[in-house]
Amino acid sequence: MVQECYRHAKVIGAWGGGQAALLDAGCAADDLGVVVGDTPAGVFEEVLGLLGTHRVWDRFPVSVA
């Protein structure tokens, strides 16, 4: 599910052990739209701010052929 959210350019947040799940899914903590932190409240605050954009469009470059 994490990989699907990532591919669909959704915001992803994790704290504690959830950070290991992100790495297992191939997501880096510094990827656009990926929020990691020490507390659920801190992660939630950042995720909430990003949810207004619906998707993290800048995660994937636009390709024109």
Under the banding of pLDDT at 50, 70 and 90, the label for residue 37 is very high
Query: Residue ranges of the domains in the chain?
Result: 2-59
Alpha-carbon span 43 to 64, nearest angstrom: 35
Residue with tokens 């409240």: 41
Alpha-carbon span 43 to 48, nearest angstrom: 8
Q: What is the pLDDT of residues 2-31, one digit of tens each?
A: 999 999 999 999 999 999 999 999 999 999
Of 41, 26, 57, 64, the C-alpha closest to 13 is 41
Q: Which residues of 2-62 form beta strands (DSSP E)?
A: 12-15, 34-37
